[in-house]
Structure 1
């Protein structure tokens, strides 16, 4: 990440933090969306 930051003249810490955030959100976001859709569509237990 340091090389990318240096190439574009950005702060390397900022690039690393953004990379971690994007990695976490891209991995978790689809699962959250699927969970919410299934929560809305599936009937409650006992109904």
Structure 2
């Protein structure tokens, strides 16, 4: 039974990807918040 050598990704790569994902999530959440607020303004203005 052979033990396969586990190759862990470099720490810097993991941190870099984590930062990218973090900024992406942050950007999307802010964008959705702005859209939600604009829709709220439109609905209150129309009705």
More relative contact order in 1 or in 2 (CA 8 Å, sep 6+)?
1
* Structure with larger Rg: 2
Q: TM-score range by the shorter chain?
A: 0.3 to 0.5
Query: How high is the TM-score relative to the length of structure 2?
Result: 0.47
Query: How high is the TM-score relative to the length of structure 1?
Result: 0.47
